[in-house]
Structure 1
Amino acid sequence: MTAVTVRRATVDDARGIAEVHVTAWREAYAGHMPAEFLASLDVDRRAAGWAGILERGETDAFVAERDGTIVGWATAGSGRDDDAPRDRELEGIYLLASAYGSGAGQLLLDAAIGDAPAYLWVMDGNGRAEAFYRRNGFTRDGATMTHPAGDATVLAVRLTR
C-alpha cells in the first residue's frame, strides 16, 4: 500500500474534500444519525461551501492523500466558541474508512494542531474517534452541545488537552 502524505489544502481540493466529507459522515455516523439525513448529504453543495472556505482562508485546512487521491482532511483555527477553553480548536478531522489504520489521522492531527493545547467536539458515542483523541492527550471537560441532524439532534462532547 502506498504511503499517505499530508499537505495544506488549496481551493482546487474543494471537491475532493467534499467527497471525503460526505462519504466519511455516511461511514462514521451510520446508526448514530438518521439514515435519511445522511442520504441527503450533497457533494456538490459541500464542494461549493468548501471552495468558499478555502478561498477566504477561514481556517487552516489540510488534506491526506494516497496515490494522488484525497482520503482525509482536517481543519483547525482560533476557536469558534465564545467560551473556548483553549486558543486552538481542531474543527474537523475526517478519513475514509479505507484509510483507517494508515496513519493518516495522526498525520492530519499533527499538521493541524501539533502537540499544542487545543479543544475539539466529538459526537457522544463515537468511540473510535474518542479513543484516537484520548491517545493524543485529550479528555472530556464536561461541556456538551447538540447539533441538528435532519429531524433529530446529536449530542457532542468537548475534549481538551
Structure 2
Amino acid sequence: MHFRKAELQDAKGLASVHINSWRTTYQGIVSEEYLQSLSIEEKEDKWVHILSGAHDTYVCVMGDNKIAGFVSIGKERSGEYEGELYAIYLLKEYQGRGIGEKLFELAISKLKKQGFDSMWIWVLKENPSKHFYYRYKPILVKEERLKIGNEFLQEEGLLLNLNEIEKE
C-alpha cells in the first residue's frame, strides 16, 4: 500500500469508497432508502469537480491499484476555525489495519504544514467509528442537527489542537 495525493483519474475510486463507506458505516443510522439512493456516478462527478481544482485529498492505494480509503482536508468552511477534516473514509474490508490512522496523521501533518494549529471535525453522534477521533483527545465544541434524507441526526463538532495531540 502507498499514500499519495489524489489525481483526476481517482474520481471513480473515490466515489466508490465514499458511497460504500456510507453504506456500511451508517447502516441502521441513516435510512436504508437514503443509503441505496446514493449514486456512484453523481459522486464521481463531484470528485471530478474537486480534483480538477486546487485540493488536499490523499488516497491509500493498495497493491492492486484499488483505492482503500481517502482523506480530504482544507481551510475550515465557516471561518470560525482554522483547518478542517472534510472527509475521511475507508472501505470496511481495510479497517483495523492502521490505514485510517495513517490517513488521519497525514491530514494532521498537511494542515500543520499549511500553518494551521487546529482541525475542525464534524462526526455523526451515532457513528460507530467516532471513537477513532476521540483517541486524539479533541474538545467537543458543539452539537447540531443535520438533515440526511428525510431524517434529522445529531452531529458533534470536535476541535483538535494540532500542537498538543495526545493519543490514547
TM over 0.5: yes
Counterpart contact for 1:76–1:113, Cα < 8 Å: no
Is structure 2 residue 61 aligned with structure 1 residue 62? no
SS in 1 for 2:52: helix
Q: Does residue 14 of the first structure (1) align with residue 11 of the second (2)?
A: yes
CA deviations on 1:33-77 (whole Å, 9 max, x unpaired) are 0110000000001001100011012x3101111121001111001
Aligned structure 1 segments of 4 or more residues deviating by more than 6 angstroms:
none
Kindly indicate whether structure 1 or structure 2 has the higher relative contact order, using CA contacts under 8 Å at least 6 residues apart: 1
Does the residue aligned with 2:118 lie in a helix, a strand or coil? coil
Indicate whether 1:27 and 2:28 are aligned: no
Question: What percentage of aligned pairs have identical amino acids?
Answer: 29
Paired position in structure 2 for 1:149: 148
> How much has 1:110 moved relative to structure 2?
1.5
1:88/1:113 contact within 8 Å kept: no
Residue 156 of structure 1 and its aligned partner are, at CA, apart by 0.9
CA shift for structure 1 position 82: 3.5
Residue matched to 1:77: 74
Over aligned residues, Cα RMSD in angstroms?
1.4
Counterpart mapping for 1:11-160 below 5 A: 11-57=8-54, 59-67=55-63, 68-84=65-81, 87-114=82-109, 116-128=117-129, 130-141=130-141, 143-160=142-159
- In structure 2, what residue type is equivalent to 1:131? H
